[in-house]
Structure 1
């Protein structure tokens, strides 16, 4: 299928051609017709699947040169709002009329925004829930005629505590508004909002064929008690990345690692919630201009932000919310390109790693030897060997106990033979089970 099959207007075809979009992703192929039909929609799809253009193309297809706000799009972070805004600007640059766009996020000049709203209302509004609602509540932004309302990254909106504000925005919209909810997951706590506002929505879940892209090498590296700062710096010298994102769990850790790497002479940026909005915007632009080779970030940057050309991802630590692991790793290996994800771990992370493996994530254990990444044994190997030594069933224990007793020589030989035969059978059974497991793993891989 091609984008031309959607019968989009000529200016949209030109805009898509400019950014080399010719073939829709699976989520676009399935959901664009639903949005064009004017139906409410709940679209569940993994990060990086093309959700943004899934709703923007139908929105611009139906946008009119009328003097009122026709579309409102909420995003849970300033960076995601900026990304959607830039995508809108690219599409609007080809439109047959002047499309008025507005990006309303916290930390920007509210008085100036109100001043502009007094002159005219934007056709399309993007922004964070708090700032959009402030402008609606003050009466400066008029959304009573809005035709389409988009809630992007709904699960992240919920996690960050913005769903109540989104609810307030929705309550000011006309009853006939089309509501589109897009998310990587649809948690149970989101259901009351969906039932309250959506009218017989189309529920579409785009199944994830692989948990992480098969173009990503997913490595696991033990810290072995080493200083993580020094280890990450060592890896940075070995990788020579086009652009590497280093994910940390806290803002304090982001600052610590950022300052350390900066002191080592690396071109490094950082993104986290305590960085002022203006500085974050400037940093994002510099990252896109490839002014930096390394970006230290909290999970704020793992969701929704599309930074092109990420060749490597390093997890300084496993995230507390394991779903963020997928979003972190998904920053690389995009659009069919190769990528490498490296996760540092210590013994206390074993439980989290097992949980990730249960989610279908496969790791390749690596270690650094003579300045190179080399394959190493599986971290479970020693534990499995210990378990095998201990694995004596009740029958074997009984036979061994009997052998220790003072008994007649002929009977002793019989018991020795029984013990040896039992061991042989156990080993054969283990080999067969291992063979079955390997064959099953091979089938799942292909």
Structure 2
């Protein structure tokens, strides 16, 4: 489809699309929207930032029976932040409907009693939330999901990683027999397959490949720490780049706290987001971030998969994540909506294998370094390997001099090595020239003898 008009959406859906400023469907939207509109189950495999949220929201709300007051749609997410984000997208759509559509967001850490009291009065037509809270409300007899026949499992691989798949399984088992299931994920791990086969009969599988692992709009920089303090490096990068909105990712909550404290100590206004914060505090901070009250945000990987913030211009990886897929999702926070972005990864001398593993995935880095208060091009960290073949041509004595380990390197030792290499190369050239001269003389002698 070249235009959203080709889908013949209801007027209020068309109004929502116009309000969003969408011009034409993304590849995942072009693939998935017709499938969902026709009531078929679907597995959508697509990268972060591909537009998959509206790929399922638009056709689902188009098919919603606004005159049916029972629960029809359940959308599960593995994190509260992602649930809040999708709920905001839902609110944007339903505000254009002339007839009221009842929606609800159920996540852990919120006022459960208040939710129960409201459920006693009426059931929502559309439910968004985390698996634990949705199942809890259902088991207590408060939320009736038996009537729902459409289930969306967003970020399915993350749902599996966080151990929520069993909970989602129980939710799916409680829903209507003619269940239309929609599973969306950046990856489809093998451990997810038994669950998919249990509930999905002949689903349409839409795999949207990306031309590159990293968005082409993103400059992917690699900076060696060279043993320097990471906190200081991060501060330099933030202050010299003047980002519109920068996300700094760290592997642990403790490291998030440490970076935030350091940057605040340097006078920067910084927000932090990680799983150890109280839910209400995280929710408040997220609203402040989305309102652009902060220019700098330090986050754990929870934010890499669970938060969608517009306008992120810079990503800084304080460390390389233990799961390489998280690296992709971190960097996927910038360069969205056709905008450009910069992703910067700091790495130490002992992390070369981790960088190599990312490069084996097809991720390309531009080597950079900080010099005189600016980020400039640097050398390829593998340059020594490229010259390995050249060194192999040298004899044992010269190689021994190069490879010899000295605890106390004397002044001029490197120059001595270079001189030794040059002398050996000159000798090799002379030998080669002499060999060629001898060969020519022999050839000339044989030719003259032939004609005598």
Q: Same fold (TM over 0.5)?
A: yes
Candidates 323, 331, 334, aligned match of 2:333: 331
User: How far is the alpha carbon of 1:416 from its aligned partner?
Assistant: 3.4
Q: Take 2:202 and 2:349, find their aligned partners in 1: how far apart are those partners?
A: 49
CA offset at residue 384 of structure 1? 2.7
Aligned to 2:197: 195
**How many Å separate the matches in 2 of 1:22 and 1:42?**
25
Partner residue, 1:50: 51
Residue-by-residue CA offset, 1:214-242 (whole Å, 9 max, x unaligned): 11111000101111011111111101000
Runs (5+) with no aligned partner, structure 2: 400-426, 437-452
How does 1:171-320 map onto structure 2 within 5 Å?
A: 171-320=173-322
Taking the aligned partners of 1:69 and 1:15, their CA distance within structure 2 comes to 22
Equivalent-residue separation in structure 2 for 1:210 and 1:292 (angstroms): 31
TM-superposed CA distance for 1:124, in Å, is: 0.3
**Alignment partners' CA distance in 2, 1:420 and 1:350:** 44
In 1, Cα distance between equivalents of 2:133 and 2:178: 24
Structure 1 gaps of 5+ residues are 398-411, 422-446
TM-score, normalization: structure 2? 0.87
Q: Distance in 2 between matches of 1:413 and 1:347?
A: 36
What's the counterpart of residue 2 of structure 1? 3
Q: Which residue of 2 aligns with 1:416?
A: 431
Larger Rg belongs to: 2
Residue of structure 2 aligned with 1:370, choices 338, 360, 372: 372
Task: Tell whether 2:354 aligns with 1:352.
Answer: yes
| Root-mean-square deviation (Å) | 2.0
State how many pairs are aligned: 405
Superimposed CA distance per residue, residues 178-211 of structure 1 (whole angstroms, 9 cap, x where no aligned partner) = 1000000000000010011112111111111111
Deviations along 1:347-402, one digit per CA (max 9) or x if unpaired, are 211111111111111100001111010101101112332453035799xx9xxxxx
Q: Distance in 2 between matches of 1:105 and 1:420?
A: 82
Structure 1 residue 417: Cα displacement: 3.3
Contact 1:67 1:121 (C-alpha < 8 Å) held by counterparts: yes
Where 1:355 maps in the other structure, the secondary structure is helix
Contact 1:258/1:268 (<8 A) preserved: yes
Matched, 1:39 2:40: yes
Cα distance between partner residues in 1 of 2:85 and 2:428? 78
Q: Which segments of structure 1 move beyond 4 Å, counting only runs of 4 or more?
A: 391-394, 412-415, 418-421
Distance 1:413 1:149 in 2: 73
Separation of aligned partners in 1, 2:358 and 2:53: 27
Per-residue deviation, 1:320: 0.6
Distance in 1 (CA, whole Å) between partners of 2:63 and 2:226 is 58
1:18 CA displacement: 0.8
Distance 1:171 1:391, change over 3 A: farther
2-structure distance, mates of 1:306, 1:24: 19
Instruction: Kindly report which structure 2 residues correspond to 1:52-201, keeping only aligned pairs within 5 A, or say none.
Output: 52-64=53-65, 65-201=67-203
CA distance in 1, matches of 2:433, 2:165: 68
Q: Deviations over 1:228-272 (max 9, x none)?
A: 011111111101000000000001100111111111111110110
Matches within 5 A, 1:430-445: none
Structure 2 distance, partners of 1:175, 1:188, is 25
Contact kept? 1:47, 1:304, Cα under 8 Å: no
Q: TM-score, normalised by structure 1?
A: 0.88
Aligned match of 1:442: none
SS state of the match for residue 121, structure 1? coil
Query: What is the distance in 2 between the residues matched to 1:254 and 1:135?
Result: 33
SS at match of 2:22: coil
